[in-house]
Amino acid sequence: MSDGITINEADGVIEIVIDRPAKKNALTGPMYRAMTAALADASARPEIGVVLFRGQGDAFCAGNDLKDFMAGPEGGAAAFDFIRAIAAFDKPLVAAVQGLAVGVGTTMLFHCDLVYVAPDARFVMPFVNLGLVPEAGSSLLAPAIMGHARAAAMLLLGESMDADGADRAGFVTAIVPADDLLAHARAKAAALMAKPPLALATTRRLMKGDPAALTARIEEEARLFRETLSSPEAQEAFAAFFEKRAPVFRRG
């Protein structure tokens, strides 16, 4: 469907493959658009029961392609549209995660029902480091799922969390040997397909609860993200990133 995104379909399961391994599966505007379209297609087709996300190569997703993201407003708009789509998606979502999951590569997983990870999985949400604020509802969902202290270490300090830490925090469903990861995730997707669909959908909806608070937080984050993107802090952080130096932030 797009350079960097491959869509596979079998037995009622759509696999969305982030397929840009040379760039650690960093996401561009067209890649976001392709994933959003795939979710819309899956939602509209009754024969599709599950969507499985996976990444090609040694990383799941390195987050936004910063050059693409800074090139103009389209990348940001496409990213927020994808976030809205995955948060509102009405069928089970499964993820198979190996290696790095940075930024949206981590925050999208808060919206997945089953998250299976390889032992080398590493989760990073470096928004504050870039002079930005969290997105995808992660400022609400991270403290709710893993507790305020762990969430603060990730969101305020930008510290990474390894697979064992994510398992202990209740962020992932299970750690699976790398060689078995995809087969395991596919088997769980097939198990979901065998369940009675109405009972499954209703149970999932009940588990997620009232979506109003999450929707409001996603929109608040999006507004603040757009504001901070043009701030002096973000400009310095991005310049330092591209120049491969430590950023210098002024106070007062």
pLDDT for residue 1 is more than 60: no
- In sign, the C-alpha dihedral spanning 5, 242, 163, 89 is negative
Strand partners, 102: 124
Helices 148-155 and 138-146, packing angle to 10 deg? 140
Tell me how far apart the alpha carbons of residues 246 and 252 are, in angstroms, rounded to a whole number: 20
Across the chain, what does the average pLDDT equal?
A: 94
Cα angle 149, 104, 45; round to 5: 120
Q: How high is the pLDDT of residue 83? A: 97
142 domain-assigned:
yes
pLDDT at 68: 76
User: Largest Cα–Cα distance of the chain, in whole Å?
Assistant: 59
Q: Cα–chain-centroid distance for residue 179?
A: 22
pLDDT at 230: 86
- Amino acid identity of 196? P
This model's pTM is above 0.85: yes
User: Per-residue confidence at 223, pLDDT binned at 50, 70, 90?
Assistant: very high
Please report whether residue 189 resides in a domain.
no
Instruction: State pLDDT tens for residues 191-220.
Output: 999 999 999 999 999 999 999 999 999 999
**What mean pLDDT comes out for the span 168-191?**
98
pLDDT of residue 26: 95
Q: Note down the domain range covering 35.
A: 1-178+197-252
- Per-residue pLDDT of 18-69, as tens digits, reads 999 999 999 999 999 999 999 999 999 999 999 999 999 999 999 998 777 7
190 falls within a domain? no
Name the least confident of 13-22, 142-151, 235-244: 235-244
Residue 184 falls inside a structural domain: no
Provide the number of structural domains found in the chain. 1
Would you say residue 183 lies in a domain? no
* Residue 85 included in any domain: yes
> DSSP character for 102?
E
Q: How many CB atoms lie within 10 A of CB 21?
A: 13
pLDDT digits (tens, 9 = 90+) for 65-77: 877 777 665 668 8
Does residue 192 form part of some domain? no
* CATH classification at residue 234: 3.90.226.10
Q: Are 21 and 59 in contact (CB under 8 A)?
A: yes
φ, ψ at 160 (rounded to 5°): -85, 160
133: in domain: yes
According to DSSP H, which parts of 116-230 are helical?
138-146, 148-155, 163-168, 181-193, 197-208, 212-229
